[in-house]
Structure 1
Amino acid sequence: MGLFKLKGFPGTGSFPHGIHPPDNKALSANMAVEVMEIPRTVTLPLLQHLGVPCKQIVKSGETVGYGQMVGKGEAFVSASLHAPIAGKVKRNTMVTLPNGRHLDAITIQAEGEQIPPERIWEDVKFTQWPRDGFSDYGSMDIVKKIQESGIVGLGGAAFPTHVKVMPNDTRVIDTLMVNGCECEPYLTCDYRLMVEAPEVIVTGALLTGRAVSAKEIVICVEDNKPEAIKRLQQATRQTVVQVAVLKTKYPQGSEKQLVKAVVGLNIPLGGLPADAGVAVSNVQTMAAVARSIIKDVPLTHRVVTVSGQGICNPKNIFVPIGISLAEVVDFCGGLTPNAARIISGGPMMGFAFSNLSAPVTKGTSGLTVLTHDDVRKADETNCVRCGRCVDACPMNLVPTRLALAARYNNPEIAAQYHIRACVECGSCAYVCPAKLNLVQLIREGKAQLNAWERR
């Protein structure tokens, strides 16, 4: 399916640089979303988003109901936490997430009458989601409800959504862009939501567009997802929402690259989409907004993908936040004998880990399980100064300079070469003939810079 020119949008449907890795989505793209049973316990880290941890407001031994707030996001850049099951609060525990962070967590043991998760998913799919009649909702009413519901970006970044949509006199938002690109290989959870429940996405986009007072609302999808495009085009008929078909390229779903592709603007280093008059949010986030405003339910569940040649039965699953990753893997038939590496997220930007007792969090978009053949690679050699990493970098950085600065613990040089502008997409490491661990080094360099600045 080719690109088409959006009325009023000067973008070309793509962006400079980037790469074309195999998407490997066929493993799970045609697998309809399945619903997991209610787990015996859920574990809810108090920090599942960028920003400040929420404050626990329930005590051990207390009985909580489905959707009850158990952690309150008191800081501006924070997000509240809600019980995905009814049950009794147990003693807190410490958990280690796939990204290596050690966090205090609330544990809830299932007790009493439960809302069947099948009913929750059916509510997402089959509700007659409204397309108009939103005049009674003021901008701040929508923002407040999003904040109370604990909604964060469900594309992986997990930035508190209310912060993005908060009205700001100094930054006027002209365009709301709903990100359905899902350019990360293997992951198909957003795709399945667009195919199976496009109406809830459109309602969430209309409500969010009202919150930010956007003149234009556009849902962005790569052209390798024709069925999702068709379903969204049907769902947006007789609405102000447009569907933008963009070129399939990695990392098309990155905010700055998305803004460039649609509105043709370059966001400056250190800048945000809002600096270009744009707000960007993920399709699953829009579904959560619709459920929050229309159904008065907080964020308690999400769709995740479990895929890769190392998993017996790749699937897309509707799961409660807080369920263990081990239960999710078991639901997919377990690991294959040749499974070698488990990644939280996709292979480009995800984190390899081994502790499956970690819980699903709001930012868990999926699990990718690679085999020994997938991860076998040549040994790392010296940089040959070929410049391929520079050609691939969508942020116009020099990744080898950043990696060298990190390797020799030189945060001043790292800052000089704008290390914080790196979005850690992994394009540089993918094309590197020397097989340098560029992304890991850049992450280390960012940590070095943070420590240096705190001195």
Structure 2
Amino acid sequence: MTHLWDFPGGIHPPQHKDFSTARPIRHTGIPERLILPLQQHIGDPAEAIVEVGERVLKGQIIADVKTGMGVAVHAPTSGLIESISEHPVPHPSGMADWCITLKPDGEDQWCSRNPVTDYRALDRDQVLEIIRNAGISGMGGAGFPTNIKLRPPRDRKVSTLILNGAECEPYITADDMTMREKADDVVAGLKVMAWILRPERCVIGIEDNKPEAIAAMRKATEGTQTEIAVIPTKYPSGGEKQLIQILTGMEVPSGGIPADIGVMCQNIGTAVAVAQAVLGGSPLISRIVTITGEAVREPGNFEVLIGTPIEYLLEQAGIQLDKLSRLVLGGPMMGYTLTTEAIPVIKTTNCVIAATASELPAPPPEQPCIRCGQCAEACPMELLPQQLFWYAKATEFEKAEHLNLFDCIECGACSYVCPSSIPLVQYYRFAKGEIRVQRAEQLKADHARERFEARQARLEREREEKELRRKERARAAAEAQEKKQAEAEKAAAEGEAVDERSAKAALVEQALARKKAKTEASQPPPAADITEEKPDIESLEKQLSQAQSKLETMQGMLDEAKAQQADNVEKLERAVAKNHDRVKRAEEALTEARNKLATRPAESQSTH
């Protein structure tokens, strides 16, 4: 016999489960329209991959999540896509969201399916991909994608796999009837999940107020190592953390998940969906829903296509509108009142209560808290509901969060026992919602600040790079200027040296020419030797040409220096002046030589 523990707090509200267990599970058939929300699970919403007017087959994927956390949405039957638009969806606020409207064609034609006869021959990742493509999410709570839940972190080995059949909420009997009529499918799905996780222990927890379900599951698990744990009926024993504590004696740490202590919980309906997906090749397109309450003539459990309007479902159960006071989606403890019957059944819909005014009367007006402490005694999470209520009401959300507000499972036990009729859970939901909004806004602000800082850093980097390029250009220009100036100075210096050598050579030649002329004047040469003066004239003309060319060169350099290199102007002006003198002296020497040559024949003739 399985050893059991207990959890703190808890209450014992009236069960009212016999309303819906007197009849077997019935099929509701195909309605005229199916409304399929794109967001039916925790995570990213699916994106439509079909177009208006397109014909789809039963089981065909019509919306999928390409990236991120999410699962696909399938066509529950064959038909035409009528629209992709906003429509009211199951939500406490009555909000609208994007939905695909499918008009059935009545043929109920399946797409191709690929059942797996031996999943053990596949890789585990392949089986997880089958589960993901089948669109399976948790069917008993918030709708966490099952394939992700079955892939815990590598450092957290799952030693205990729990199948949650407690179904502690009053009125709801969907899991009870599923275990009674589909026990083999439940066990088959459990085996698939156990093969993926390889736990040391598999346990199915069932409250002791479900004897038929207990008997059916014991028969289905004969010859296996799966334990059937019958637990005392107490609300909320079906809460994940509470059931883990009952069956293992361990507590999930605050802010943690069951995998942190080596435990994983799955729902009865989820196990059936896994078996149908892997062994039958069928995606999640229907589920068991409890329709109950005193305002319906034939309460019971129905196998309903996902997307079926609640209005159509109530008609199948024989709704009595004259008696109807409230429609509650979910149980009376954790459910919420519907604002319209047009909302569709989704993957997490497990119950609709059509209640009369006497069955679920309107709550009395809220009264001041009398500090009785009954809420703290009933809290299964051992929180301080009174302080959380004060902080939530005063919008002191940070203080409420410090008191572990997010550990609250919103079971409603505190509100149930409150003598002042304070809707405590509503205050907690409000506080959680505001904190989530603030976190989202803070996240946006952080991202905006990061983008701004990145932009500022980029602009600063661009300024630095621009300044660096400017300095490099200035340095390169300065180096080029210095190089050009150095070349100019070198050229000027070389020009002066050449000019000085040329001038000295010219003076020497002039001196020699004068000396020779004097010598020849004192001793007249023979007539035949008169032509010996011609080389001197040619030499002087060559010297004059060189001096004039050098003068032009120096003048050009002087003009350029005046335009670009003010520092060299004075030096070049001196060089030009010197060349002017040299040209003048060369011209005078040439003129003198020519004059002497011109008078020599006359002197020679007079002598003869």
Distance 1:166 1:428, change over 3 A: same
Residue 108 of structure 1: SS of its match in structure 2?
Answer: strand
SS in 1 for 2:192: helix
Q: Give the whole-Å Cα distance in 2 for the aligned partners of 1:57 and 1:304.
A: 28
Q: Which has the larger radius of gyration?
A: 2
Confirm whether residue 184 of structure 1 aligns to residue 169 of structure 2.
yes
Equivalent residue number for residue 301 of structure 1? 286
Say whether 1:157 aligns with 2:142.
Answer: yes
CA distance in 2, matches of 1:71, 1:274: 30
Aligned-partner SS, 1:27: coil
For 1:377 and 1:268, locate their aligned partners in 2 and report how far apart those are by CA, in whole Å.
Answer: 34
| Counterpart residue number, 1:90 | 82
Q: Does the Cα contact within 8 Å between 2:4 and 2:231 map onto a contact in 1?
A: no
- For 1:366 and 1:75, locate their aligned partners in 2 and report how far apart those are by CA, in whole Å: 31
- The aligned counterpart of 1:25 is 17
The 1:98/1:403 distance shift into structure 2, 3 A limit, reads farther
Q: Does 1:107 align with 2:123?
A: no
Look up the equivalent residue of 1:44 and give its one-letter code.
Answer: L
Q: 1:289 aligns with which of 274, 277, 281?
A: 274
Select the residue among 72, 76, 86 that pairs with 1:80.
72
Answer yes or no: is the 8 Å Cα contact 1:95–1:103 preserved in 2: yes
2-side partners of 1:368 and 1:115: how far apart?
A: 33
Structure 2: 5+ residue stretches without partners: 111-115, 443-608
Give the Cα–Cα distance (whole angstroms) in 2 for the partners of residues 282 and 407 of structure 1: 35
Contact 2:80 2:104 in 1 (8 A): yes
Check if 1:367 corresponds to 2:367: no
**Match of 1:401?**
387
1:425 aligns with 2:419: no
Of residues 135-144 and 197-206 in structure 1, the stretch that sits farther from structure 2 once superposed is 135-144
Residue 37, structure 1, aligned to residue 29, structure 2: yes
Distance 1:306 1:400 in 2: 35
1:435 matched to which residue of 2? Answer: 421
User: Does the CA contact (< 8 Å) of 1:21 and 1:185 recur in 2?
Assistant: yes
Residue 147 of structure 1 deviates from its aligned partner by: 0.6
Alignment equivalent of 2:41, drawn from 49, 53, 56: 49
Residue 347 in structure 1 maps to residue 328 in structure 2: no
Larger strand fraction of residues: 1
- 1:227-376 equivalences under 5 Å are 227-373=212-358, 374-376=360-362
Unaligned runs of 5+ in 1: 117-128
SS of structure 1 residue aligned to 2:376: helix
Which residue number in structure 2 is paired with residue 206 of structure 1? Answer: 191
Provide the alpha-carbon RMSD of the alignment.
1.7
Q: Which residue of 2 aligns with 1:121?
A: none
Contact 2:173–2:290 (8 Å) recurs in 1: yes
CA contact (8 A) 2:152 2:259 kept: no
SS state at 1:375 partner: coil
Alpha-carbon distance between aligned partners in 2 of 1:287 and 1:52, rounded to the nearest angstrom: 24
Structure-1 separation of matches of 2:295 and 2:135: 33
How has the CA–CA distance of structure 1 residues 97 and 319 changed in structure 2, closer, same or farther, with 3 Å as cutoff? same
Deviation of residue 237 (structure 1)?
Answer: 0.5
Q: Secondary structure of the equivalent of 2:230?
A: strand
**Matched residues in 1 for 2:96 and 2:397: separation?**
25
Structure 1's consecutive aligned runs of 4 or more residues displaced over 6 angstroms after TM superposition are none
Quote how far apart the aligned CAs of 1:30 are. Answer: 2.2
Matched residue of 2:8: which SS?
coil
Number of positions where the alignment pairs a residue of Structure 1 with one of Structure 2: 434
Q: Deviations over 1:170-209 (max 9, x none)?
A: 1111111011111110011110010011000000000011
Q: Structure 1 residue 138: deviation in Å?
A: 3.1
2:390 maps to a residue whose letter is L
Amino acid at match of 1:175: T
Higher helix residue share: 2
Is contact 1:403-1:445 (8 Å) kept? no
Cα 1:33–1:276 shift into 2, 3 Å? same
**What amino acid does structure 1 have at the position aligned with 2:364?**
A
CA distance in 2, matches of 1:289, 1:395: 31
Match of 2:399 in 1: 413
